[in-house]
Structures are given as structure tokens and as C-alpha cells.
Amino acid sequence: MDDIVGILKGAAGLAADANAFREFFNWAAPRVWDAVRSQQQQHLLQVDPRGVGSASARDNRIASLHQIEADLQKLENDLWLIQSTTSTMYDLIDRLKWHSHKDTEAWHLRQIKYVVYDAEDLLDEYNYYALKVKVDASKNLGQDHSHETFLEFLDSVNFSKVMEIQNRLKQVFDQSKGLGFHKTPKKFDRLVRPETCRVLDKPDKIFGREKELKELKQKLGVCGRKRSRPVACSTIAEARRTELPVLPIVGMGGVGKTTMAQQICEDGVVRKHFDCIIWICVSDEFEVNRLTKDVLKSLGVKSQHSDTRDTLMVNLRDSVNAKKFLLVLDDMWDDVLKDERGWRIFHRTLSNGLQGSMILVTTRSSKVANLVSNSDPYELNGLQNDVFWDFFKLCAFRSNSSSNSPELEHIRPELERIGKAILPKLKGSPLAAKTLGRLLKSNLSIEHWEDILRSELWKLEQEETDILPALRLSYVYLPRHMKRCLSICALYPKDHRFEKEFLADIWVAQGYVEAEDASSCFNDLVNRSFFQKAAGQNNIYVIHDLIHDTAQLVSKDECFIIQHVSDLPKIPSK
């Protein structure tokens, strides 16, 4: 829904701007013409006080007036064309961002953004001129001053710049269309978002999640080992016997939601508690018929000739009728918000299962959690420091043991010192620890580790499934106006504390959102875990370090942060 609203608002804004240009030129063109004619007449009187002049002079004057009229008409049409082309390019930018991990798409994305931003600056410039002319003309300071205002506007027009922007827009648009980018799907590439399953890829022991695992099992109603005599405990199922309970696990990307769900599915007590456990990787394609087919296939139901929704729902209802099941819907994104009715039907059909059946949902979005469940979501945070250090050592040294191999004997203490200095950057994120651990263990030298310590995380080369590519997916899924609202936060220093109203004012001043929408935009970013409330302070927020790195990553071609004098020569031309 946010995407649709964003597109409609963007289209409405562009249409309003285009109409405003039309209205302005319809109003201004005859006044510019009058001002030029008056100037020419005054010049003629200065040259020939009798005002007679030659026929050729009059013809030249008329010809120049007609040329100005034609130029203004062309300027109006050119600006309208730039406005409408820019609208198309916004959609193209959104499409390419989903695939910017590929070199070709990333290069074209940069080129398109450069020319679109120049086009935006040009349109802003003419919006300013239009506003200035109207304000000056409304002051009623006399005809001479009015004429001077319109002549200044005419002098400010840079026809060649308008033509240059128009040609550049056409060039990148034609190139992109030739490469088929205008048909690029707005969906996750499986390279960066592989399908998940209930089986852990490695039989690693759980690090520091024993408390969370116990709490989640209790919420699922798994409190004892005897199925025939369940232990009395407070569960969601007891509070809501009339519908199938849904337990959402919410947290930022890389915090371990999927791993937590896998640990639950692999737990022996959980497996004995339910008749069957069904795992569905939802990702960014919430489509009720597909999900229903996947559930039926997991239950061993053969595919039917008819795949209508009615047939699928009847089969699903009958298939779960005598089963106490746990359905895990892993990695659910905001697509479900566009089909609330589909979700309600799917959920209601599954409610035909035996009492004690549950749905477990993992998601990054509080909005998704609030849609699928009336109960409070379970928020999963980063690992605690001591446990996180043990996990980090396992990732960086292939072992968290203090015993060293002979070649590491003399440098292990120094590497551990550097590792502890790196640790605060990762904020307890298991995926961040895996990412940095992989980079560190590739070269167990003090120089290499110190280089990584000094480097910004977003500048380090990462694989498609590492922490920043994973977090970048959350950014890509944002509506267009919210992408800009987040990316400008890259200019904040890390750990900077800010007020909601101050940042919202910056967005409005930049033209990213309308004043009446700024507050809801901010709240949406909070609900998506991009901003967090600062501890112990009301209405003061901070950006998680890893989210800040993500903002810097997606803004690297649009802003440059100077931290040291040595950064000055590195400022890019753009």
C-alpha cells in the first residue's frame, strides 16, 4: 500500500508541476512579449525621438518579437517534456535498485540518477523563477518595474541548458529501454535472497539464545514433553481459541530471526508437540494461491487439475482438519499489506486445524506483524556482549577456543585485541559477525585486521548474502520518497541523536515529502527498524550503526562525508 500511495503522490505531484508550468507560461508569455515590445519602443525613441524609424527596423522588431514568442513556447514544451520524462525515469530507478548488485545495472543506475538529479535541479530553478516573477508582478510597483521583472526572467532563461538536459534524458532512457531495464521486475534476486528451509546449514550450537528459545516455545504452547497431558501455561492459544494464533518474530535484517525459527523447528520437544511442521519461505512474493499450493505439497496432497482459489482453499481446509500443525512463514515482507483480504482467507482456512496449531511468522516489519496477529510480536535483538564475543571468535578463527595453532601462538592475543575493537561496530548482529569473520580469517595478519578496523563497514567488499546486502534489501523495499528520507541520514555522524521534528523539517525543506506526510513517514521508518528511540529520552532517536552503514552504502554516489583532511582530495567530481 505504501508503494501505491507513493507512486500516486509522485504522479500527482509531477502532474501538478507540469500543469503549473503550463499555467505560468500562459500567464507570463504575453507579459514578457509586452515588456520586450516596450523596451524596443523606448530604445527606438532614444535613437529617433520622432519615433518614425524605417520599415526594415519595424520588420526586424516584429520578427524578434515573434522569435521570443516561439522561444517561450518551445521552452514551455521542453520543460513539460523534461517533467514527464523524469516521471518515467523515477520508475526506472526503482527497478534498477532491486538489481544494483549487478555491475551493468549499477553503472546505468548511476548514470540515470546523475541526469535525473540535474533535471530536478533545472525544474526547481524554473519553479523558483516562476514564483519570483509572480511575487514581483503582484507588488504593483508600476508598469516599468513590472516590465523589468519579465525582462529579467527572459534573461535568466538558458535555452541551451534545457536542451542539454532534454538530450541527456533521452539518451539514457533510450539506452535503458534498449537493454530492457524498463521491464526489470521489482523483486528480490535469488542471488541476494536465497530460499530458506527449516534445516540449519550448519549444526552449530545456539549462541546466547537459550532464553529466547525457551520463551518462544512457551508462546507456542510447547511447555511439556507429554502430548496427552499438556502442561498448563499461559499461551496465545488459550486466549484466542476461536481463531488460529499467529506469533510474529520481528527484528532487523541479520539479527537471526530465520535461525531462531530453524532452532525451534529442530527442537525435539517442538517436533513431538506438533503432528507436522511446515516451512514456507515467503520472501517478497506474498501470493495466496502459491502459498496454499506449497502448504498442500508439504502435507503430501497431490496437485489438482483445478488451481482456482476455491479448490485450493477447500483442499487446505480438509487437509488440516485433523492435524495439530506448526506453520512457519519465514521472511514475510510488506507485500502482504497489499492483499489483506487474501491473508484473512488463508488464515481463516487454516483455522480448521486442531486446537494448539500455530503459525510462526518472521518479518522485519512491525506493520506486517500487526496485520497477521493481534498479539504483541516477539522482538529479537542482537546477541549480548560476552556471548557475541564467543560467536565472533568462532567466525574469525574457526574456533572460539583460546588454544592456538602454532602459527597463531604469538599473534593471537594481538588479533583478539583488534577483534574486540571491531566488535562494537557490529551491534550484536550474528550476520555481521559472520561477514567480518569471513573477511578477517582470509588473512590472519595484524596488518590486515587493523586495516579492517580502520575501514568503514560499507566500504568493505561483501558477498551477496552478507550483512549490508541483506540490510540493503530493507532499503530497496521502501517507497521512493522514503528511500530519500533515509539516505540523507547518511550525513549524520554515527550515534548522533536527533529529534523527530528536526529531521522531518529537513525532509520537507528538501522536497522529499509534504509537511502533512512527514510525521507518518518518520513513524514508518521507526516501524521498519531504521530508527530507534534513544535510551531514556523521549522523542530522541538514533540510527543503528549497521543501518547507518547501509545509508552510506546506498548514498555513496550522492554524498561524500569528510572526516579528515586527507579526505579532501578524494571528493568525486559528482
- pLDDT tens track for 26-37: 777 677 667 666
The verdict on 49 and 144 lying in the same domain is: yes
The verdict on 346 and 412 lying in the same domain is: no
Sheet holding 358-363, edge to edge: 276-283, 325-332, 358-363, 246-250, 378-379
d(CA 464, CA 444): 23
Q: Flag whether pLDDT at 237 surpasses 60.
A: no
Q: Flag whether pLDDT at 231 surpasses 60.
A: no
CATH number where 559 lies = 1.10.10.10
The verdict on 349 and 489 lying in the same domain is: no
The verdict on 174 and 243 lying in the same domain is: no
The verdict on 36 and 172 lying in the same domain is: yes
The verdict on 218 and 235 lying in the same domain is: yes
CATH number where 324 lies = 3.40.50.300
Domain that includes residue 42, residue range? 2-183
| pLDDT value of residue 320 | 93
Least confident of 13-22, 198-207, 429-438: 13-22
Q: Is 357 helix (H, G, I), strand (E, B) or coil?
A: coil
Write the burial class of residue 364 (CB in 10 Å: 0-12 exposed, 13-18 middle, 19+ buried). buried
Q: Is 471 helix (H, G, I), strand (E, B) or coil?
A: helix
% of the chain with per-residue pLDDT over 90 = 48
Question: Do the Cβ atoms of 173 and 89 come closer than 8 Å?
Answer: yes
384 conformational bin, left if phi > 0, alpha if psi -120 to 50, beta if neither: beta
d(CA 555, CA 487): 6
In a domain, 38, yes or no: yes
In a domain, 465, yes or no: no
d(CA 19, CA 12): 10
- pLDDT tens track for 529-574: 899 998 878 889 999 899 999 999 998 888 888 878 888 888 877 6
For the chain, the distance separating the N- and C-terminal CA atoms, rounded to the nearest angstrom, is 34
In a domain, 246, yes or no: yes
Write the burial class of residue 392 (CB in 10 Å: 0-12 exposed, 13-18 middle, 19+ buried). buried
In a domain, 158, yes or no: yes
DSSP state of 90: H
Residue 112 C-alpha cell reads as: 540515470
The verdict on 102 and 49 lying in the same domain is: yes
Q: Flag whether pLDDT at 229 surpasses 50.
A: no
Q: Flag whether pLDDT at 188 surpasses 90.
A: no
| pLDDT value of residue 556 | 85
The verdict on 351 and 389 lying in the same domain is: no
The verdict on 40 and 99 lying in the same domain is: yes
In a domain, 204, yes or no: no
Q: Count other C-beta atoms under 10 Å from residue 564's C-beta.
A: 7
d(CA 290, CA 302): 14
Q: Span 477-499, mean pLDDT? A: 91
Residue 273 C-alpha cell reads as: 508437540
Domain boundary residue among 164, 183, 202? 183
Of 19-33, 88-102, 319-333, highest mean pLDDT = 319-333
- pLDDT tens track for 160-186: 888 999 999 999 999 999 999 989 888
The verdict on 14 and 133 lying in the same domain is: yes
> Dihedral of the CA atoms 332, 335, 339, 343 (nearest 10)?
0
Number of domain units in the chain: 4
The verdict on 254 and 356 lying in the same domain is: yes
Residue 213 C-alpha cell reads as: 528459545
Q: Flag whether pLDDT at 62 surpasses 60.
A: no
The verdict on 344 and 246 lying in the same domain is: yes
Domain boundary residue among 362, 379, 396? 379
Domain boundary residue among 347, 379, 411? 379
In a domain, 45, yes or no: yes
* Higher pLDDT pick, 324 / 303: 324
Q: Flag whether pLDDT at 438 surpasses 60.
A: yes
In a domain, 189, yes or no: no
| pLDDT value of residue 40 | 63
In a domain, 473, yes or no: no
Q: What's the pLDDT band for 507 if we cut at 50, 70, 90?
A: very high
What element of type H or E holds 37? helix 2-47
Q: Span 283-309, mean pLDDT? A: 88
Q: Flag whether pLDDT at 372 surpasses 90.
A: yes
Question: Do the Cβ atoms of 459 and 413 come closer than 8 Å?
Answer: no
Question: Do the Cβ atoms of 128 and 218 come closer than 8 Å?
Answer: no
* Higher pLDDT pick, 482 / 537: 482
Q: Flag whether pLDDT at 49 surpasses 80.
A: no
